[in-house]
Amino acid sequence: MDFRSDNTHGASPEIAAALAAANTGTETSYGDDTVTKRLEARFAEIFEHDVAVFPVITGTAANALALAVMTPPFGAVYCHAEAHILVDECGAPEFYAGGARLVPVDGADGKIAAADLAAALDAAGAGDVHRVQPAALSLAQLTECGTAYRVDEVAALAEVARGHGLRVHMDGARFANALVGLGCTPADVTWRAGVDILSFGATKNGAWAAEAVVVFAPALAAEMAYRRKRAGHLVSKMRFVSAQLEAYLTDELWLRNAAHANAMAQRLAQGLGAVPGAGLVHPVDGNQLFVRLPGATIEALIADGFMFYRWPETVAGSTVIRLVTAFDTGEADIAAFVDAATRHGEAAA
Amino acid sequence: MDFRSDNTHGASPEIAAALAAANTGTETSYGDDTVTKRLEARFAEIFEHDVAVFPVITGTAANALALAVMTPPFGAVYCHAEAHILVDECGAPEFYAGGARLVPVDGADGKIAAADLAAALDAAGAGDVHRVQPAALSLAQLTECGTAYRVDEVAALAEVARGHGLRVHMDGARFANALVGLGCTPADVTWRAGVDILSFGATKNGAWAAEAVVVFAPALAAEMAYRRKRAGHLVSKMRFVSAQLEAYLTDELWLRNAAHANAMAQRLAQGLGAVPGAGLVHPVDGNQLFVRLPGATIEALIADGFMFYRWPETVAGSTVIRLVTAFDTGEADIAAFVDAATRHGEAAA
Amino acid sequence: MDFRSDNTHGASPEIAAALAAANTGTETSYGDDTVTKRLEARFAEIFEHDVAVFPVITGTAANALALAVMTPPFGAVYCHAEAHILVDECGAPEFYAGGARLVPVDGADGKIAAADLAAALDAAGAGDVHRVQPAALSLAQLTECGTAYRVDEVAALAEVARGHGLRVHMDGARFANALVGLGCTPADVTWRAGVDILSFGATKNGAWAAEAVVVFAPALAAEMAYRRKRAGHLVSKMRFVSAQLEAYLTDELWLRNAAHANAMAQRLAQGLGAVPGAGLVHPVDGNQLFVRLPGATIEALIADGFMFYRWPETVAGSTVIRLVTAFDTGEADIAAFVDAATRHGEAAA
Amino acid sequence: MDFRSDNTHGASPEIAAALAAANTGTETSYGDDTVTKRLEARFAEIFEHDVAVFPVITGTAANALALAVMTPPFGAVYCHAEAHILVDECGAPEFYAGGARLVPVDGADGKIAAADLAAALDAAGAGDVHRVQPAALSLAQLTECGTAYRVDEVAALAEVARGHGLRVHMDGARFANALVGLGCTPADVTWRAGVDILSFGATKNGAWAAEAVVVFAPALAAEMAYRRKRAGHLVSKMRFVSAQLEAYLTDELWLRNAAHANAMAQRLAQGLGAVPGAGLVHPVDGNQLFVRLPGATIEALIADGFMFYRWPETVAGSTVIRLVTAFDTGEADIAAFVDAATRHGEAAA
């Protein structure tokens, strides 16, 4: 029973089937195939907006490409202090953007507060030749704490950003989970709230390896194709990436998968509520839980064979673990984990 | 009937089956899965040498990563004037290597001659602070002209390169086709001949999207994992890339696929030998043919629905087309093309 | 009366004379001139260590070049949160180092504490492919708060750095001022304490435009000449940069200039001690003072024509100003400033 | 007697005097000084056009900065195969432009022919995502062969460039020599002929270290200040660079210096016309001569103590040497060289 990450899981049967189905005949390579050509219209329909769509195979590539067209090399990208782009991508945004800088802004539950962003930007030295120049804001949906920015929060942050001349990027590695958690439309939490480019993730929610850079601001799309090719992310047999995305968007598979994972997370949260010594560290808005547990309970769960990651923070003297549910996490797995945690917790209490 | 490229074709059934089979249970992400762990030993066995293996999903990424660990930003990579890394990767090597330069060396049939390389390096200004510094040699197997460097040619070039302090890279996007054409072992034409890193291609020869950076020189492997991650090429569900490579190397599928494609190319070459006005522009060492044909014949073949690319060169007044065979090119396709070309050629003569 | 910065001042007469004297006859360009050739031996003598010396014309270039040979593109440079390289160089270190990252470590009075560095490095994820890799520590002498690291402080920090595999850089834009303040030898506070490369500043202390990258670790010198040329910092008529440095090092001009500036700073500090509402914000170890003053006093001083910068911090409700003395700051200027501040302070009290 | 290069010579007395005169009082640093502020108006007057002017201290920096604002990282800069930016700057343009590529176009006497540029651009694959994208043309005045592009030649090349969407840069390291040789106005051969940015050189023609990036196209100026700072080329005591430029432009010193150097070159050319075995390899449009001479004559001249560089080409079996005159080359030096060459030439004949 594996709660380590949603990317330890495989692919949805529907996506596997689509991949197999795409393996017939020959197709023009490098994205001029029939599957890829259908994608842009499908995304436009879902997002209620004209979009340029660039499929890639990792979220890191999607994020780094998006940021590279938003910032000059002497620019700064503002993000949360725990953001994936800052902490977990080995400097990919700096690489793609020619040495631009990521500037951390701290905030509770993985979210930046609009006032904190405003304060950081006011002190940034815009127009001062000695300072890197504020160029973009990057928000994650879900955040690294498993929380989702509400529509009004995104809008307030984007307004601050635009007021200072910044572009807005959304890292949607778990966009479907956030959307289901928020209960809003894709448009509401992206371009309508001021987002210029979305890294639209599918891999963690049931694809093999498929993400899409979705560009709402036409001016930012012009360079993207060249930058993607130059980064080695223009897949020659592109139909096999696009087929994953098409299946993901068909019959609302993306929303169904996310809804299941989120429901499992809620069930887990509820079950752990009764475990002695356990407590949620952050609100659960999607499919990630951050839970503090007594050390003995954690050890016992590991001995039982449950898989999860310890987090590098301590809350109120307790170790924090991260639990991630996925599109195919079984109800039995949830029940087994809760039972075991309860049993070990009571033994320790 | 599609002779445009081997990347317009889909995937081998064996690889499709392996991909489906890998879709069970959860696996540690980012390359610490069971499939990926088996890969390195498999490559070591095939190449008769300890290797570090880094799976990626495009040849451009493989090439650019390989070159980035061989050259400083102020370095120069020597390659053929028509090399894929120079002409068809939108500057990916320069991007990955921090602005290093590609220096073209011309030569017949897509190959660099050792004497020409030596002359270029002697004039390069090594040690002169005003000049970019020679750092690496990159050879393609197959070349962009469909030819293969013989083992002794690789060895002679590598000797010149090493004598000038350069590292040696081989772009093996069509490595299997070259190997089958040469009839040598993988070791003979790589590390035994002086190659430090091989971009080992599988995509064009029956995979969906799978290449491997195979490093023979341990000192060059140290930075690779960081550079791959930083470039967005560390696939989270890596098992799905590695499973393709594993199937590709199982039961000699890679050699069988290449042998078939090469055989189809030879059959095509023989058939076209009798076509009025036709002629081979380069030797056919693998699965690519460059053929000059009268313009009327080309137009008629296109009207028949045959698909291929015109090449931007003219030989003896005739247009040149490129024909590429693949692992699944049918004998009937070859026969149909030869018949049509013969018919149109005779009509025009 | 100008206390804005030491770089608003001109050049020492001795340096002006040397520059004029160097303007005779022709000289080999690009650093192979007779003046430049003498420099390395002179620096070796002063630092009691073999060195490679690379004259440049700005401190930003010196710092960025030094860091570029210490860190790979996926590396991280640790520095104080207010460091010049982080705040005031428009991302030059990131540019030169191919997108490497600067990681701030906070600390009182502009200094990093060894324990804080150790904690940051322990949490940095060395060896984790998702994280940028700790590569270098950069310390400033003087710091941005006008303080100097003591020899034992440098040694303790360098020991932590080396223990984690980092190289050590010292930004010595005001190295002479620090040295005079510390009362130690150049060797004690650099290579003997673990410094690999020193950015040796002369511009702020009496030169027109002359800095030197002084490399104590031979392995780090190999790439420097190429990187300097590639950055456009190999001055063709190099003798005119080197002549400044030579004069600067002759008859201890560098130490005499710094001693004067530091003495003026001490006199200023003492004088301000009696001013109502005034207070030093940081210890005065060199030629910079950070002083809190009532707003009315500041306004009155500005109205009098005194020139200085307000600092973007507030201490105990008072505005902070920075006062910088230089090699040619007159005693009368100090007296005038103290008198005026006293007069305005008493009027306001 | 030194004919190696104009940068082995020192500085004009007028410039030395201006530098000394600028060394009074304090001045705002980083270019906000009174001298620098006057410069832009002076350049505008000379060029009869609004300009943005960015003083720097090397021609390599000027060129690399100019090209960096003209080309995206995936762009290509077209230049002559022997261009300084390609051959002698250790990859500075690639560094500054984030890995953009220099594409050589060959041509007689160091000049690109408009038809050759057109052919290269037509074949460049503009709009093809696999190819680097043509972005800029860079022309040198003087060229590396000592020739000058005529006004109509610049205009024809710029028209081809603009027709393909390229920006136009002029490397004017020896702009004054070219201008005097051409006998046209500064405006005629720059913006009126289609040039967007000029690297305006002063160092080789009598300054210590002073060049200016002169931007005619306002859109290209916006990023320049940040890129200059980020490259470490914003000199803190900028008045000392600007004072050189101001003196250079005062009382037509720049034109007088160039006129003298050019006249010396013509006298040298005439004198060598009578030397047995000697011959000019290229037209002499400025202050550089490329002369073929019998090996024995060259050896004898070296033995006499004359200083010059051999060129890495051979014409009609003779070695080629380069002779460069400067603002302070004496008539006696010319006479001595011609006499010696004649004497040695006759002895050998």
Contact between chains at D74 and A98 (C-beta distance less than 8 A): no
Q: What is the pLDDT of residue A90?
A: 98
- pLDDT at position D252 is 98
Helix H, strand E, coil C: the string for D140-182 is ECCCCCCCCCCHHHHHHHHHHHHHCCCEEEEEECCHHHHHHHH
Mean pLDDT value of segment C257-282: 96
Q: Which of B30, B226, B234 sits opposite C74 (nearest CB)?
A: B226
D10: contact with C, CB 8 A cutoff:
yes
For residue D222, the model assigns a pLDDT of 93
Q: Kindly report, residue by residue over C118-173, the tens digit of the pLDDT.
A: 999 999 999 999 999 999 999 999 999 999 999 999 999 999 999 999 999 999 99
Q: At what angle do helices B331-348 and B253-272 cross, to 10 degrees?
A: 20
Q: Report how many Cβ contacts below 8 Å link chain A to chain D.
A: 39
Q: What is the pLDDT of residue D237?
A: 98
**Other chains touching B, judged by 3 or more CB pairs under 8 Å:** A, C, D
Chain C 96-115, residues with CB within 8 Å of chain D CB atoms: 96
Q: How many CB atoms lie within 10 A of CB D284?
A: 25
Q: What is the pLDDT of residue B316?
A: 76
Distance CA C274, CA A140 (A): 53
Cα separation of the two ends of chain B: 25
Q: In sequence order, what are the residues at sequence separation of 6 or more whose Cβ sits closer than 8 angstroms to the Cβ of residue B76?
A: B100, B101, B102, B103, B124, B132, B133, B134, B135, B136
- For D226-239, what is each residue's pLDDT tens digit? 999 999 999 999 99
Q: Looking at CA atoms only, how far is residue B250 from chain C in angstroms?
A: 29
Inform me whether the C-beta atom of residue A173 falls under 8 Å from chain B C-beta atoms: no
* pLDDT the model gives residue B1: 87
Peptide bond into A142 cis (omega under 30): yes
Rounded to a whole number of angstroms, the distance from the CA of A22 to the nearest CA of chain B is 8
The closest CB to that of A129, out of D129, D133, D234, belongs to D234
* CB interface of B with A, residues 222-251, below 8 Å: 226, 229-237, 240-241
* B127 touching D (Cβ < 8 Å): no
CB pairs B-C closer than 8 Å: 38
What pLDDT sits at residue C302? 97
* DSSP codes joined into one string, B64-111: HHHHHTT--TTEEEEEETT-HHHHSSTTHHHHHTTS-EEEEE--GGG-
Predicted confidence (pLDDT) per residue in C292-324, tens digit: 999 999 999 999 999 999 988 777 778 999 999
Q: Give chain C's mean pLDDT.
A: 96
pLDDT at A22: 96
- Cβ–Cβ of D16/C11 closer than 8 Å? no
Q: How would you label D313-348 residue by residue, b for 16+ Cβ within 10 Å and e otherwise?
A: eeeeebbbbbbbbbbbbeeebbeebbebbbebbeee
Please name which of C292, C297, C272 lies closest in space to residue C282, comparing C-alpha atoms: C292
pLDDT at A1: 87
- Neighbours, chain D (3 or more CB pairs < 8 A): A, B, C
The whole-number pLDDT of residue B347 equals: 87
Element (H, E) at C272: helix C253-272
Task: Specify the 3-state DSSP secondary structure of D346.
Answer: helix
Comparing alpha-carbon positions, the chain D residue that sits nearest to A228 is: D129
pLDDT at C23 over 80: yes
Interatomic CA distance for residues C232 and D140, integer angstroms: 17
* DSSP state string for B217-253: SGGGTTTHHHHHHHTT---TTTHHHHHHHHHHHGGGH
Chain Cα centroid distance, residue C171: 5
Residues of B within 8 A of D130 (CB-CB) are 87-90
Is this prediction's ipTM beyond 0.90?
Answer: yes
A90–C123 CB contact, under 8 Å: no
Question: Per-residue pLDDT for C233 more than 80?
Answer: yes
Give the pLDDT of residue C348. Answer: 75
Q: Which residues of chain A have pLDDT under 50?
A: none
How high is the pLDDT of residue C315? 78
- Of B16, B203, B236, which is closest to A20 when you measure between CB atoms? B16
Judge: D25–C10 Cβ closer than 8 Å, yes or no: yes
pLDDT for A298 equals 95
Report whether A100 contacts A63 (CB < 8 A): no
> How high is the pLDDT of residue B315?
79
Q: Does C110 have pLDDT greater than 80?
A: yes
B115 vs C311: CA distance, rounded Å: 64
Residue-level pLDDT at A15: 97
Q: Kindly give the confidence (pLDDT) of every residue in chain B, 349 residues in length, as a single tens digit, with 9 standing for 90 and above.
A: 899 999 999 999 999 999 999 999 999 999 999 999 999 999 999 999 999 999 999 999 999 999 999 999 999 999 999 999 999 999 999 999 999 999 999 999 999 999 999 999 999 999 999 999 999 999 999 999 999 999 999 999 999 999 999 999 999 999 999 999 999 999 999 999 999 999 999 999 999 999 999 999 999 999 999 999 999 999 999 999 999 999 999 999 999 999 999 999 999 999 999 999 999 999 999 999 999 999 999 999 999 999 999 988 777 778 999 999 999 999 999 999 999 999 998 887 7
- Tell me the sheet residues that pair with B56: B211
Q: What is the pLDDT along chain D (349 residues), one digit of tens a residue?
A: 899 999 999 999 999 999 999 999 999 999 999 999 999 999 999 999 999 999 999 999 999 999 999 999 999 999 999 999 999 999 999 999 999 999 999 999 999 999 999 999 999 999 999 999 999 999 999 999 999 999 999 999 999 999 999 999 999 999 999 999 999 999 999 999 999 999 999 999 999 999 999 999 999 999 999 999 999 999 999 999 999 999 999 999 999 999 999 999 999 999 999 999 999 999 999 999 999 999 999 999 999 999 999 988 777 778 999 999 999 999 999 999 999 999 998 887 7
Give me the mean pLDDT over the C206-222 stretch.
Answer: 97
User: What's the pLDDT score for residue C312?
Assistant: 81
| Predicted local confidence at residue C61, as pLDDT | 98
Residues in chain D with CB shorter than 8 Å from the CB of B132 are 90-91
pLDDT at B317: 78
Closest CB to D90 among C27, C61, C230: C230
Q: Name every chain B residue with its beta carbon within 8 A of the beta carbon of A174.
A: none
- Inter-chain residue contact D74 with B89, CB threshold 8 Å: no
Interface contact B226-C133, CB threshold 8 A: yes
Give B 77-96 residues with CB within 8 A of chain A: 89-92, 95-96
Mean pLDDT of C229-253: 98
* Closest listed residue to residue A171, CA positions, set A223, A93, A101: A93
Partners of C314 in the beta sheet?
Answer: C319
Query: Which residues in chain C are closer than 8 Å to A74, comparing Cβ atoms?
Result: 90-91, 95
Whats the size of chain A, residue-wise? 349
Q: Are A236 and B58 within 8 A, CB to CB?
A: yes
Query: What does DSSP say about strands C318-324 and C288-293: parallel, antiparallel, or unpaired?
Result: antiparallel
Asked if B225 lies within 8 A of C74 by C-beta distance, the reply is no
